[in-house]
């Protein structure tokens, strides 16, 4: 015969949230944080990991909630409307790994707007080149030959030259610690390059950036 008793088992809770197609990554994070705060009270969040599955179109964001010992997983699996963008791109800044948010960032709208602009044809082509390859932002960041910083506005630029000798750039700025958002990206089609600071033309995009206050910090 078995005596009645109580069996105690520690269970670690894992809550899984799937992002809706019409919300971007940061909107989904805000909704998730609001949900947890409402239901579990004051908690401290730490974005402990961002795992990129860019080829599968899936991003998993793990939020550890220490006070209740639970993990909340935000799964970004749905395709975005319009152009296909990676949700985030891994990068490095001065030896530290960072995450660059692409989907829902300022740059996502800026690039598409410039590509559809009725102004200078080279501006349209330079930004359309990014849209023509959904992994181009990732390629530029991961294979950049130079990383520059403008201390005046806090923007970084990854500089990349492809096999055809074409120059590419990805501009980012810090969103929060180790998280950055895309500001813009383009192929340098608009030579000669006008510097806003001295209103002069330069034959090199790097010379234009140096004129505008950028300094090379790595690579």
- Determine how many CB atoms are found less than 10 A away from the CB of residue 15: 14
Judged by average pLDDT, the poorest of 4-8, 45-49, 175-179 is 45-49
**CA–CA separation, 120 and 101 (whole Å):** 28
Q: What is the spatial order of strands in the sheet that 179-187 belongs to?
A: 88-93, 96-101, 179-187, 167-176, 155-161, 146-150, 215-218
Q: What is the reported pLDDT for 165?
A: 93
Q: Copy the structure tokens of residue 31.
A: 């909704």
Q: Which tens digit of pLDDT belongs to each residue from 29-85?
A: 666 666 666 665 554 444 433 333 333 344 444 444 444 445 445 454 444 444 578
Nearest to 25, CA basis, from 74, 62, 64, 71? 74
**CA–CA separation, 134 and 121 (whole Å):** 21
Q: What angle do CA 42, 44, 50 make, to 5 degrees?
A: 135
Q: Which tens digit of pLDDT belongs to each residue from 132-141?
A: 988 899 999 9
**CA–CA separation, 138 and 91 (whole Å):** 9
In this predicted structure, the answer to whether residue 151 has a pLDDT above a threshold of 70 is: yes
Contacts of 119 by beta carbon, 8 Å cutoff, 6+ apart: none
Q: What is the reported pLDDT for 17?
A: 57
How high is the mean pLDDT of the chain? 76
**CA–CA separation, 89 and 78 (whole Å):** 17
**CA–CA separation, 104 and 46 (whole Å):** 21
- Kindly indicate the confidence band of residue 86, based on its pLDDT and cuts at 50, 70 and 90: confident
């Amino acid at each position: 015969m078995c005596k009645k008793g109580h069996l105690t088992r520690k269970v670690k809770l894992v809550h899984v949230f799937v992002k809706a197609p019409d919300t971007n990554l940061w909107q989904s994070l805000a909704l998730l944080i609001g949900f947890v705060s409402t239901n579990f009270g004051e908690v401290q969040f730490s974005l402990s990991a961002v795992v990129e599955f860019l080829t599968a179109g899936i991003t998993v964001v793990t939020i550890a909630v220490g006070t209740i010992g639970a993990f909340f997983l935000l799964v970004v699996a749905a395709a975005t409307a319009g152009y296909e963008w990676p949700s985030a791109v891994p990068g490095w800044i001065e030896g530290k790994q960072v995450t660059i948010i692409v989907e829902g960032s300022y740059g996502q709208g800026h690039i598409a707007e410039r590509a559809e602009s009725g102004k200078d044809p080279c501006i349209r082509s330079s930004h359309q080149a990014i849209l023509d390859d959904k992994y181009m932002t990732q390629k530029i960041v991961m294979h950049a030959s130079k990383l520059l910083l403008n201390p005046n506005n806090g923007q970084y630029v990854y500089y990349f030259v492809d096999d055809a000798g074409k120059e590419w750039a990805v501009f980012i700025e810090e969103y929060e610690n180790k998280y950055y958002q895309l500001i813009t990206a383009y192929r340098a089609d608009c030579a000669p390059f006008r510097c806003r600071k001295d209103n002069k033309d330069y034959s090199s995009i790097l010379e234009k950036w140096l004129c505008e206050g950028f300094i090379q910090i790595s690579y």
